[in-house]
Structure 1
Amino acid sequence: MQTEMELKDDLLWGAGEIAAEIGRNERSTYHLLERGELPAVKVCGRWVASKAKLRMYFAGEQPA
């Protein structure tokens, strides 16, 4: 089980942070997010993604 600190470190807030993690520009990442092509959710109007889930997604693994 992850600690609260580990969970906070795993989260990416906003299309900019997500884009930096996946190596894309913010605009193309935003479009991927809006089309539901990335494992992320909107929280209070802001995109939030897990680093671990993004890495699993790009590795072709199914997140738990």
Structure 2
Amino acid sequence: MPEPRFLLLSDVAAELNVSDSQVYHMVRRGELPAIKIGGRGQWRVERSALEAYIAAKYTETAEWVARNPLVEPDPED
């Protein structure tokens, strides 16, 4: 069975191992693209948008690590 194209916010939260509330705030801030569907305006995140978000976070993290190297104390000090 193919994976669904659209995910519930709770599915996204499970994928990212964060709370539903965190995902909701990511969506509301525009950090994670999502759509509202149905009469009650339920949020859905397209799987490809989630994958793009994850890839962007890997890039962002790598850039942060490069700018903030872990400096270990010199053992001879």
**Pairwise TM-score range, normalised by the shorter structure:** 0.5 to 0.7
Q: Does 1:46 align with 2:42?
A: yes
Higher strand proportion (structure 1 or 2): 1
Normalised TM-score (structure 2): 0.57
The answer to whether the 8 Å contact 1:12/1:51 transfers is yes
Secondary structure at the counterpart of residue 16 of structure 1: helix
Structure 1, unpaired ranges of 5+: none
How far residue 10 of structure 1 moved from its aligned partner, in angstroms, is: 2.1
Secondary structure at the counterpart of residue 25 of structure 2: helix
Normalised TM-score (structure 1): 0.66
Structure 1 stretches of at least 4 aligned residues deviating more than 3 Å after TM superposition:
none
**Larger-gyration structure (1/2):** 2
Paired letter, 2:15: E
Two-structure CA RMSD over aligned residues (Å): 1.9
Supply the distance in 2 between the matched residues of 1:12 and 1:46 (Cα, whole angstroms). 11
Percent identity over paired residues = 35
